[in-house]
Structure 1
Amino acid sequence: MGGLAVLIASVVTWGVGAAWYGAMARPWQAASGVTAEEARAMPRVIYLLGFACILVVMGFAQWMFYLADVRGTGEGLTTGAMIGGFFVTPWIALNNLYTGRPVMLTLIDGAYAVLGIAAGGAVLGWLG
């Protein structure tokens, strides 16, 4: 499956993010300091660049899954959640600590890292 699996996993991960940040829009805006008007005025290219970042994450996750012999949806889900929880979320926390951003922002963004990469990991495990 290779590249197609990465693409499908990326679309799923992006979809989880759309749902997550749609549901968490107000708390995220309050924590990030971005108003609804500012969010609506963001250039649309940001979404394309965000998707490109997700492609990189899912491509690297697929390589890690290969090296760790991750097989099946359950192992992919669990390993993806661990990547989100133990690699990505601490890095988000580190950046937010040094910039004085609210803990709530770390919790919201970190939860998406766990949920999104878990969902993408499940796809990679299933198709891998």
Structure 2
Amino acid sequence: MVATLGAMILIAGFLRHIFFVSGLTSNLPLGLVAGMGVGLFFIAPFLWVQNLAEGRPLGLTAIDGGYAIVATAIMGALLVAF
């Protein structure tokens, strides 16, 4: 549980850095979409490759990837909201 919290803090910090560098600081819908993009294009592909290498079912990749996409979308929205 502590490791999960630490990983989420690292991801949120990375998102905040991306938003700061790109000038995205106050647009809630764009924060949501940007966070979703990070989950979809950075995190989910790594999970897919890992699950593929370990012989895990595709459904597990969809669940894990979906969780990552939703979590980063929420992070993105919250980071630009506050």
Identity of paired residues, percent?
A: 32
Give the match's secondary structure for 2:56: coil
Match of 2:21 in 1: 67
CA distance in 2, matches of 1:67, 1:95: 30
Q: CA RMSD in A?
A: 0.8
Q: Please list the CA deviations of residues 65-87 of structure 1 after superposition, one character each: whole Å capped at 9, or x if unmatched.
A: 11122232111100000000000
Moved over 6 A (4+): none
Match of 1:57 in 2: 11
CA distance in 1, matches of 2:32, 2:23: 14
Consecutive unaligned residues of structure 1, counting only runs of 5 or more, are 1-46
Higher CA-based Rg: 1
How many pairs are equivalent?
81
Give the match's secondary structure for 1:115: helix
CA distance in 1, matches of 2:65, 2:52: 13
1:126 partnered with 2:81: yes
The 5-angstrom pairing of residues 28-107 of structure 1 reads 47-71=1-25, 72-107=27-62
Consecutive unaligned residues of structure 2, counting only runs of 5 or more, are none
CA distance in 2, matches of 1:69, 1:100: 41
Match of 1:5 in 2: none
Give me the TM-score of the superposition, normalised by structure 1: 0.61
Give me the TM-score of the superposition, normalised by structure 2: 0.94
